[in-house]
Amino acid sequence: MQYKSVYFIGIGGIGMSAIARYYLKKGLNVGGYDKTPTPLTRELEAEGALIHYDDDVALIPQAFLDESSTLVVYTPAIPAQHSEFQYFLIHHFDLQKRAQVLGTLTQSLRGLCVAGTHGKTTTSSMTAHLLHQSHVDCNAFLGGITKNYGTNYILAPESEYVVIEADEFDRSFHWLRPYATVITATDPDHLDIYGTKEAYLESFRHYTELIKPGGFLVIHTGLEMQPNVPEGVTTYTYSRDEGDFHAANLRIGGGEICFDLISPLGCIKDISLGVPVGINIENGIAAMALAQIAGATAEEIRRGMASFCGVDRRFDFHVRTADKAYLSDYAHHPEEIRQSIKSIREVYPGKRIVGIFQPHLYTRTRDFYREFADALSQLDEVILTEIYPAREQPIPGVTSQIILDNLKPGVEHRLISKADVLEVVRNTHFDVLITLGAGDLDDYASAIAEIVQNQ
């Protein structure tokens, strides 16, 4: 079907907005609903999207009410009783999840997909940057705003490649048909969807069955999940220190990280990380593997790694002086938090590191509060705010306190209201401050940065 209009229910989501931008660039009518205006929705409106913020069928513009020419894209995060969703459903519009739309693109283009519990956004953004600044080029649909391009989307009509962040939430990545995919990690998450660890791992195993014949799987060493790739798919392993792709001659110091890439597709000497934190060694190795598979040259990859500026809210440094540092990180899973703090310790050995963590989802807190406590215990001081509920209702007995109650003995800790964050920052001693979580704590980032700079 040739669509003239595309309507998004949840247009302000980071993944949804990337697709909205794709259709805007294609010259289609683009509109949608979201719960609240944000900088991202305002940017979309400036680019031509028609957006409203009340769930009201009467507010849907006339251009989107023809079921024969309108595609409706929705996020699985919206409630089933959403009135606009119900309207489109009853009137037999073509309704597709975001992942379905991306899956269609991987049918016609060579999909370079990044899956895994954590590391997806940075690794896919690195991959997109490496290819976009190379002779290969690529389209890209990303889960974060890249600092290099100020967007979560890249359009390159002449390129046969599309870089996609493959999201396991709601089994969305099962719509994709990757040409090559990285799997970064399979630590169980989204147990509100999957129910059990075994079901979560099975979902990733099924994902590996969807790789196109003649394609590639690049999988982190030591994962519990056993892949089941189609015949003709080449499997490589990677990690920081071992596997088909790994780092050698690692040099960390003076605020820089350099290493050599050991690769079956051609080793590359003297890689310098544009965002020099330890976790980006592995993210970079995975991204470089995909870039090599797609045909980027050694010099293009070396230049791209050095010029990669990072992603908003992923190891995002807001203040970096001789005395103080403040950064925000989207980490919201225990293993992500563990790796984040480990990377900070590596860059700032011997410094007093304080973290402010806003737990994300009642179910995730319920399922992993002991693991959260163990990961956060690496900090010198743990400050927790109340849980960010997102799409969920409260669960009796599940609060941030259960994380604090399980911290290791001797770790300084306190529970505060989010409204008191700025006052707490003013009166807390630290060398390095990090705010952690996928909620709205990042709304305070610029104000926190101003306080830190003036201390």
What letter would DSSP give residue 174?
A: G
Express each pLDDT in 21-60 by its tens digit: 989 988 999 999 999 999 899 999 999 999 999 999 999 9
Helix (H) or strand (E) holding 404: helix 401-404
Comparing C-alpha atoms, which of 452, 378, 382 is closest to residue 422? 452
Asked if residue 137 has pLDDT above 70, the reply is yes
Which amino acid makes up residue 207? Y
pTM: 0.78
Q: What proportion of the chain, given as a percentage, has pLDDT over 70?
A: 100
The arithmetic mean of pLDDT across residues 331-358, rounded, is: 90
Q: What is the pLDDT confidence band of residue 189, given thresholds at 50, 70 and 90?
A: confident
Flag the least confident range among 35-39, 251-255, 437-441: 251-255
Return mean pLDDT, the chain. 93
**Is the Cβ–Cβ distance between 127 and 163 less than 8 Å?**
yes
Closest CA to 273 of 143, 129, 151: 129
* CA–CA dist 449, 426 (Å, integer): 11
pLDDT above 90 for 157:
no
Output the pLDDT for position 1.
Answer: 61
Q: Is the pLDDT of residue 143 over 70?
A: yes
Q: Considering only CA atoms, which of 449, 375, 418 is closest in space to residue 187?
A: 375
Enumerate helices (H) and strands (E) in the chain, giving the number of each.
Answer: 14, 21
Separation between Cα atoms, residue 266 and residue 277, nearest integer Å: 24
Could you tell me if 123 and 113 are in contact, meaning their C-beta atoms sit under 8 angstroms apart? no
Residue 57 confidence (pLDDT): 97
Q: With a cut of 90, say whether residue 160 has pLDDT above it.
A: yes
Average pLDDT over residues 118-136: 96
What is the C-alpha separation between 160 and 171, in angstroms, rounded? 26
In this prediction, residue 205 carries a pLDDT of 97
Please give the Cα distance from 337 to 434 (Å, whole number).
11
For residues 352 and 412, the answer to whether their CB atoms sit within 8 Å is no
Statement: residue 255 has pLDDT above 80? no
Task: Name beta bridge partners: 141.
Answer: 153, 164
DSSP 8-33: EETTTSHHHHHHHHHHHHTT-EEEEE
Tell me the C-alpha distance between 355 and 257, whole Å: 23
Domains, the chain, in order of start with CATH, read 5-97 (3.40.50.720), 109-307 (3.40.1190.10), 316-453 (3.90.190.20)
Model confidence pLDDT, tens digit, residues 237-248? 999 999 999 999
Residue 198's φ and ψ, nearest 5 degrees, are: -65, -40
CA distance 180 to 215: 5
| Residue pLDDT, tens place only, 58-91 | 999 999 999 999 999 998 778 889 999 999 999 9
Contacts 24+ apart (CB under 8 A), 31-39: 31/5, 31/6, 31/7, 31/60, 31/61, 31/63, 31/64, 32/7, 32/8, 33/8, 33/9, 33/59, 33/60, 33/84, 34/10, 36/12, 37/12, 38/12
Reported as half-sphere exposure (CB side, CA atoms, 13 A), residue 393 has a value of 2
Distance of CA 308 to the CA centre of its chain: 16
